[in-house]
């Protein structure tokens, strides 16, 4: 589900621990996929039970989708791991509670570890016997509900990749007496990949949601059928339309599209996570109380948890400075306000004096990469320009990532040169990526354009002097003149965009920028067909790229495979697709290295520096917050007041 990163509030801690855990996940048969390790916590010496903790949402990135079945428009960290999963737990929970490791944590989810048979072509999942808050069991039929839904509505699931889940499931069935569900696959897959990138997508859904009108009997919609037939798909389509208000497009929404009723709609009060909503505003302020029937390993210490929306990082920082009862307990400091850190990537520098007496600085990098897509199907000849590798090379060669990290990110950043994260340190990153195929070089960028028929107009707009040389679909007289939509609210994002646009302008690549909210950038930057009215967008920069979740192994299928649901720019390359497929069939790291080296060179997107997506400020009066896992999962049930 990767939550699509955006202003993704990434936290950066414990790189070495993550590397060790991921090495197991990638390489051996005795990996986390076959070991049901328990979450271990050390009970603090002093806990004040009760109280309220306030958490600051990312600027302009408030939750706006409650149903754990989301299209690309709503596929963000703000909606998934930092909102929905507090209430609705996925089948398997990823992200350790006590370390930064982005690995599976079995006790946090409602299912036992998957069991493999038939030469790894069959997987059987046994449920633990958790309960929904309405007293009904979280069982195999709730998983069947999800399977039937995704089979019918895979085009509306942002995690969908053609040929992958659920296409690779030839049949599935539930044994209610054993409370198991069995999936039969079309071939043998890497068991780690299938757990980390396929089963990771599944969230059991209660029968109370299997309806087509308010007040209907649970299960009456027919989508949770234990014996699905061809008619089940039609039933699921009706249930999906009802639950999602037709994907949020209804003129008079009443379910997932109606934010004002999130805390009062009885549907969303049926939860199996540690929290349930008690209040929600259309601006994104969310108030949670403990789910007293939570079956998981940790009942909340707090009596209330509140997510606070902010329009900008400045307004959030002023709230930290001001303090008081309603100030964030856990917030963040804007990059422009933190002292420069001259230490190594991942180190912690000095905190700002204005907040250092009440907060601890915790810089955190998520299991993420930073980029923004270009629309390969963009209308006119723009899409044709983006298809030219030489142009993408010229564009990338003009981005001075080390300088941006030093001058804008205050030393809290790492370069993004390809599709695998650099931090936390891990065994997946190849030298073909880390050696930076396209270092900053204006001379090289100009040579690339001139040699392919472009006349350079520094600080103006380059023109194509020979359509034959510029490339197929690019007419003589075409201009390197583009538009970029970027997310507002964070000064460092604005500064990075300004720096990139200025550098491009120096060699005649003219980019006109427009800022809007994070949500609007996501809504606009979606796959589209050339010539369609929604295909005029060119660059869509939401400010944070992608965090690998639920595609936890960074094989890239959800974002770079042809036709993938989160492949925003519609990038398509048969060689890349073949390399991705190899990473799905084998855990041998050589295939992952081949894939990432190739894609780093092919530039399916514009790579950008990956800042510490959050410089977390944690109140000294609260415990249990750090360490924060690299997947940005929000687990306030482990937080507690110390005074």
Q: What is the pLDDT of residues 191-227, one digit of tens each?
A: 989 999 999 999 999 999 999 999 999 999 999 999 9
Q: What is the CATH number of the domain that holds 415?
A: 3.10.105.10
Nearest to 423 by CA among 27, 159, 100, 2: 100
Task: Tell me: pLDDT of 344 over 90.
Answer: no
Query: Is the pLDDT reported for residue 581 higher than 50?
Result: yes
Transcribe 98-151 into DSSP letters: SSS--SB-GGGSSBPPPEEETTTTEEEEEB---B-TTS-B--HHHHHHHHHHHH
H/E stretch holding 15 = helix 15-27
pLDDT at 41: 52
Q: Assign 1 a pLDDT band (cuts: 50, 70, 90).
A: very low
Instruction: Locate 625 and state its tokens.
Output: 């917050």
Say whether pLDDT at 25 is over 90.
no
Strand, coil or helix: 3: coil
Give the helix ranges, DSSP H, for 343-490.
382-386, 389-397, 401-407, 431-434, 442-450, 467-470
In a domain, 16, yes or no: no
Q: For the chain, state the CA radius of gyration.
A: 24
- Interacting residues of 333 by C-beta distance below 8 A, sequence separation 6+: 317, 320, 351, 352, 355, 361, 615, 617
Tell me the two tokens of residue 502.
């200025």
Q: What is the pLDDT of residues 389-438, one digit of tens each?
A: 999 999 999 999 999 999 999 999 889 999 998 877 778 888 878 889 99
**Residue 487 gets which letter from DSSP?**
E
pLDDT score recorded for residue 19:
30
Task: Supply the pLDDT for residue 37.
Answer: 52
Q: Are 201 and 550 in contact (CB under 8 A)?
A: yes
Residue 570 belongs to a domain:
yes
Handedness of CA 306, 307, 311, 313 (dihedral sign): positive
**Helix/strand/coil for 622:** strand
Q: Considering the domain boundaries, does residue 465 fall inside one?
A: yes
CB 513 within 8 A of CB 626: no
Helix segments in 451-490, DSSP class H:
467-470
User: Is there a domain that residue 600 lies in?
Assistant: yes
Contact between residue 552 and residue 367 where contact means Cβ atoms under 8 Å apart: yes
Are the CB atoms for 199 and 551 separated by under 8 Å? no
Nearest to 116 by CA among 199, 175, 174: 199
Predicted local distance difference test score (pLDDT) of residue 411: 92
Q: How far is CA 49 from the centre of its chain?
A: 32
Total number of domains in the chain:
1
Residue 40: C-alpha distances to residues 99, 298, 364, 457, 526 (Å): 10, 11, 22, 61, 40
Average pLDDT estimate for 501-528: 95
Asked if residue 38 has pLDDT above 70, the reply is no
In the block, residue with structure tokens 């894609």: 599
Q: What is the pLDDT of residues 110-149, one digit of tens each?
A: 999 999 999 999 999 999 999 999 999 999 999 999 999 9
Asked whether residue 491 is assigned to any structural domain, the reply reads yes
C-alpha 477/C-alpha 586 separation (Å) is 48
* Predicted confidence (pLDDT) at residue 36 exceeds the cutoff of 70: no
Tokens representing 62 are 């408030």
Q: Residue 39's pLDDT is what?
A: 55
In a domain, 324, yes or no: no
Contacts of 158 (CB under 8 A, 6+ apart): 1, 4, 70, 71, 72, 74, 75, 558, 565, 566
Q: What is the pLDDT of residue 216?
A: 98
Whether residue 627 is preceded by a cis peptide bond, meaning omega within 30 degrees of 0, is yes
Question: How sure is the predictor about 45, in pLDDT bands with cuts at 50, 70 and 90?
Answer: low
**Per-residue 3-state assignment (H helix, E strand, C coil) for 319-376:** HHHHCCCCCCCEEECCHHHCCCCCCCCCCCCCCCCCCCCCEEEEEECCCEECEEEECC
Of residues 401, 338, 392, 403, the one with CA closest to residue 370: 401
Average pLDDT score over residue span 54-64: 93
Which domain range does residue 581 map to? 368-611
Average pLDDT of span 505-512: 98
> Is 28's pLDDT higher than 80?
no
Count of other CB atoms within 10 angstroms of residue 473: 16
Q: What is the mean pLDDT of residues 222-240?
A: 96
CA distance 316 to 311: 8
Tokens, residue 585: 């069939």
Q: Is residue 627 included in any domain, yes or no?
A: no
Pick the closest to residue 409 from 361, 352, 341 (CA basis).
341
| Domain assignment present for 65 | no
What's the pTM value of the predicted model, to 2 decimals?
0.80
pLDDT confidence of residue 166: 96
């Amino acid at each position: 589900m990767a939550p699509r990163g955006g202003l993704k509030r990434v936290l950066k801690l414990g790189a070495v621990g993550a590397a060790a855990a991921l090495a197991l996940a990638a390489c051996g048969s005795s990996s986390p996929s076959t070991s049901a390790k328990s979450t271990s916590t050390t009970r603090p010496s002093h806990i004040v039970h009760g109280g309220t903790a306030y958490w600051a949402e990312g600027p302009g990135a408030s939750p706006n989708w409650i149903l754990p079945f989301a299209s690309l428009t709503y596929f963000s960290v703000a909606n998934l791991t930092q909102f929905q999963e507090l209430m609705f737990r996925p089948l398997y929970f990823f992200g350790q509670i006590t370390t930064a490791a982005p690995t599976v944590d079995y006790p946090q989810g409602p299912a036992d570890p998957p069991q493999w048979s038939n030469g790894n072509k069959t997987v059987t999942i046994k449920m633990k016997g958790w309960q929904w808050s309405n007293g009904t069991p979280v069982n195999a039929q709730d998983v069947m509900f999800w399977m039937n839904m995704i089979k019918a509505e895979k085009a509306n699931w942002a995690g969908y990749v053609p040929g992958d889940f659920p296409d690779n499931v030839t049949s599935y069935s539930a044994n209610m007496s054993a409370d198991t569900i069995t999936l039969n696959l079309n071939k043998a897959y890497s068991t780690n990949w299938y757990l980390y990138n396929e089963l990771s997508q599944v969230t059991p859904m209660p029968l109370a949601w299997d309806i087509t009108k308010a007040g209907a009997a649970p299960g009456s919609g027919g989508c949770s059928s234990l014996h699905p037939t061809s008619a089940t798909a039609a039933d699921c389509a009706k249930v999906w339309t009802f639950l999602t208000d037709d994907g949020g497009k209804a003129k008079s929404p009443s379910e997932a599209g109606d934010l004002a009723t999130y805390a009062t709609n009885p549907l969303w009060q049926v939860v199996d996570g540690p929290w349930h909503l008690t209040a929600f505003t259309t601006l994104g302020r969310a108030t949670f109380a403990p789910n007293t029937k939570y079956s998981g390993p940790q009942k909340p210490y707090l009596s209330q948890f509140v997510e606070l929306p902010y329009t900008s990082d400045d307004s959030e920082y002023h709230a930290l400075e001001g303090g008081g009862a309603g100030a964030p307990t856990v917030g963040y400091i804007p990059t422009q306000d933190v002292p420069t850190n001259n230490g190594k990537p991942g180190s912690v520098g000095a905190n700002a004096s204005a907040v250092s007496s009440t907060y601890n600085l915790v810089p955190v990098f998520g299991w993420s990469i930073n980029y923004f897509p270009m629309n390969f199907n963009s209308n006119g000849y723009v899409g044709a320009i983006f298809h030219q590798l030489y142009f993408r090379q010229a564009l990338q060669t003009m981005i001075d990532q080390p300088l941006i990290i030093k001058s804008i990110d205050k030393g809290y950043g790492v370069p993004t040169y390809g599709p695998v994260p650099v931090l936390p340190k891990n065994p997946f990153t190849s030298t073909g990526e880390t050696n930076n195929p396209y270092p900053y070089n204006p001379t090289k960028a100009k040579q690339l354009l001139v040699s392919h028929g472009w006349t350079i107009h520094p600080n103006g707009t380059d023109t194509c002097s020979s359509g034959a040389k510029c490339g197929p679909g690019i007419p003589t007289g075409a201009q390197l003149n583009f538009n970029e939509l970027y997310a507002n609210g964070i000064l460092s994002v604005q500064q990075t965009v300004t720096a990139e646009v200025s550098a491009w302008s120096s060699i005649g690549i003219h980019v006109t920028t427009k800022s809007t909210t994070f949500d609007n950038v996501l809504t606009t930057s979606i796959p589209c067909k050339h010539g369609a009215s929604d295909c005029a967008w060119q660059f869509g920069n939401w400010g944070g790229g992608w965090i690998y979740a639920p595609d936890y192994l960074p094989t890239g299928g959800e974002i770079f495979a042809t036709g993938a649901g989160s492949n925003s720019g519609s990038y398509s390359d048969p060689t890349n697709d073949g390399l991705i497929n190899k990473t799905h069939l084998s855990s041998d790291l050589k295939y992952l290295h081949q894939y990432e080296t190739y894609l780093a060179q092919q530039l399916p997107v514009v790579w950008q520096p990956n800042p510490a997506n959050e410089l977390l400020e944690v109140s000294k009066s609260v415990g249990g917050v750090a360490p924060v896992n690299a997947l940005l999962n929000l687990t306030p049930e482990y937080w507690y007041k110390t005074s």
